[in-house]
Amino acid sequence: MSQLSPVLKQATPVVATRGEGIHLFDADGRRYLDFTSGVGVTSTGHCHPRVVEAVQRQVGRLIHGQYTTVLHEPLLTLTERLGEVLPDGLDSLFYAASGSEAVEAALRLARHATGRPNAIVFDGSFHGRTMGAAALTTAGTRFRAGIGPLIPGIAVAPFPYAFRLGMSEEAAVEYALRGLDHVLATVSAPGETAAMFVEPVLGEGGYVPAPAGFVAGLRERADRHGILLVLDEVQTGFGRTGRFWAHQHNDDVVPDVLITAKGLASGFPLSAIAAPTALMRKAWPGSQGGTYGGNAVACAAALATLDVIRDERLVENAAEQGRRLVDGLRKVAAGAPAIADVRGLGLMVGNEFCHPDGSPDPATAQRAQRAAADLGLLLLTCGTYLNVVRMIPALVVTAEQIDESLALWSKAVAVTTD
């Protein structure tokens, strides 16, 4: 008998048979409050009726119209509609199926457009698991060890992780920008640097929002040296952080390339990079593509997702419920010394567990995550040391569901830290 590869690590023992809104159900009918949303993917909740309807309609018309062979209506309409939410000037879109593929597409574009080989990433970055994306990933050796050699030419600059650095946010930004200047002076000369890739909120690296001034500092250096600024909004985009894009919290800095995936299509595999047409034109013809990019059903799901986000005011809801969640979590943390920091933007919230000496405490974080699952609240860990419990409910989450999650979390933490 065949079985799933043991290479997959399971965060919970749940076998899901059905999903509805913020809930997952198993075969016994047990209900779980899903604060993982498929790692930030099911933005409109599980099986939102408007997404289901749009997908069912599309499946009956055209499932796969391969986009280098034929064009199709959902792809063209989505391209127009994304123009309504993308920053001004990013008017050209290229589609793929996963976040990693989109990251690779951005790297290819940056190298073609600048004729330069190198890229700079920031400590704690996660940009994916394919070989190029893994080379850009520094969130943990678990994503890179034993699979090298990875592509060369990637330099790492500090990220302003104020809590870990033990600095104020302002000091951390100054430290990180100086570190970047140092990398440009010592490792990756500006004339050899094609792009800087950055997440406006570190995702797998521990749910750390970039403090004010950091992304603006990157923009200034990118302009000064002719380096492209690539914002990876795979996890932070589509309303997750209480603005449509997380970089809109960062002094409204406009990137040269923006990468989106995950919440874009409410669970269907779809990703995209957006850039000015003049920049996209610099990619060598035929250098980008893929069998499944811009799949018709995924595009129909993305169109319905955009409608739901607008009509149900989900960006505003993410901001409001995110504040409620952080306030509640800080109250729980006040009675649990192992939770040393609670931080987040919108509905992308992390609880960092540390020992009294400030060193990471992954064991307690993972016990709390498992205890929560036993109680019916599904959560994930993240961070280099896996000592951050993250909460990423769908954007449709209500105040009552946030309160229910807080009650369960409080119990899980109490059991764990007793």
Residue whose C-beta lies closest to ligand PLP: 99
368 touches ligand PLP (CB under 6 A): no
The distance of closest approach from Cβ of residue 40 to ligand PLP in the complex, given in angstroms and rounded to an integer, is 7
Stretch that binds ligand PLP, among 76-84, 122-130, 221-229, 369-377 (CB under 6 A): 122-130
Nearer to ligand PLP, 246 or 309 (CB): 246
Residue 310 CB, shortest distance to ligand PLP, in Å, is 24
Answer yes or no whether residue 126 interacts with ligand PLP by CB under 6 A: yes
Residue 100 near residue 232 (C-beta atoms within 8 A):
no
User: CB of 148 within 8 A of CB of 119?
Assistant: no
Widest CA span in the chain: 61
| Residue 176 DSSP one-character state | H
User: What is the C-alpha to C-alpha distance for residues 252 and 212, in angstroms, rounded to an integer?
Assistant: 10
412 is a contact residue toward ligand PLP (CB under 6 A) = no
- Is residue 108 near ligand PLP by the rule CB under 6 A? no
Q: How far is the CB of 98 from ligand PLP (least distance, A)?
A: 4
Contact 270, 299 (CB under 8 A): yes
Of 190, 178, 184, 205, nearest in space to 123 by CA: 205
Told to check if 128 binds ligand PLP by CB under 6 A, we report yes
Q: Is 124 in the site for ligand PLP (CB under 6 A)?
A: no
Q: How many CA atoms lie within 13 A of 325 on its CB side?
A: 32
Q: Pattern 216-245, binding to ligand PLP, x per CB under 6 A?
A: ----------------x-xx----------
What is the strand order of the sheet 388-391 is part of? Answer: 339-345, 348-353, 388-391, 380-382
**169 near 210, Cβ under 8 Å?**
no
- Using CB under 6 A as the binding rule, the residues of this chain from 86 to 105 that contact ligand PLP are 98-100, 103
Contacts of 415 (CB under 8 A, 6+ apart): 371
**Contact letters (x/-) for ligand PLP, 130-169, by CB under 6 A?**
----------------------------------------
Please, which residue, 36 or 98, has the CB nearer to ligand PLP? 98
Shortest separation between residue 244's beta carbon and ligand PLP, angstroms: 16
CA–CA distance from 171 to each of 67, 175, 296 (Å)?
A: 47, 6, 47
For 119-134, the three-class secondary structure string (H helix, E strand, C coil) is: EEEECCCCCCCCHHHH
Q: Count interface residues toward ligand PLP (CB under 6 A).
A: 15
Q: 19 or 203: whose CB is closer to ligand PLP? A: 203
> Three-state SS for 67?
coil
Is 341 among the residues that bind ligand PLP (CB under 6 A)? no
Distance CA 323, CA 344 (A): 9
| Contact status, residue 271 vs residue 233, Cβ threshold 8 Å | no
Nearer to ligand PLP, 21 or 40 (CB): 40
> Which of residues 236 and 401 has its CB atom nearest to ligand PLP in the complex?
236
The interface with ligand PLP within residues 348-367 (CB under 6 A) comprises: none
Of 394, 371, 391, 11, give the one whose Cα is nearest residue 238. Answer: 394
By C-alpha distance, which of 24, 44, 9 is closest to 376? 24
Query: To the nearest 10°, the Cα dihedral for 132, 148, 363, 7?
Result: 90
- Considering only the stretches 125-133, 139-147, 220-228, 244-252, report the one whose residues sit in contact with ligand PLP under the rule CB under 6 A: 125-133
- State the nearest-atom distance from the C-beta of 41 to ligand PLP, in Å: 8
Work out which of 127, 164, 219, 370 binds ligand PLP, going by CB under 6 A.
Answer: 127
Name the segment binding ligand PLP (CB under 6 A); options: 124-132, 172-180, 215-223, 379-387. 124-132
Q: Does 345 bind ligand PLP (CB under 6 A)?
A: no
What angle do the packed helices 399-417 and 314-334 form, to 10 degrees?
30
Residue span 164-203 as binding mask against ligand PLP, x where in contact by CB under 6 A, dash where not? -----------------------------------x---x
DSSP secondary structure code for residue 354 in this structure = B
Contact residues: ligand PLP, CB under 6 A: 39, 98-100, 103, 126-128, 199, 203-204, 232, 234-235, 261
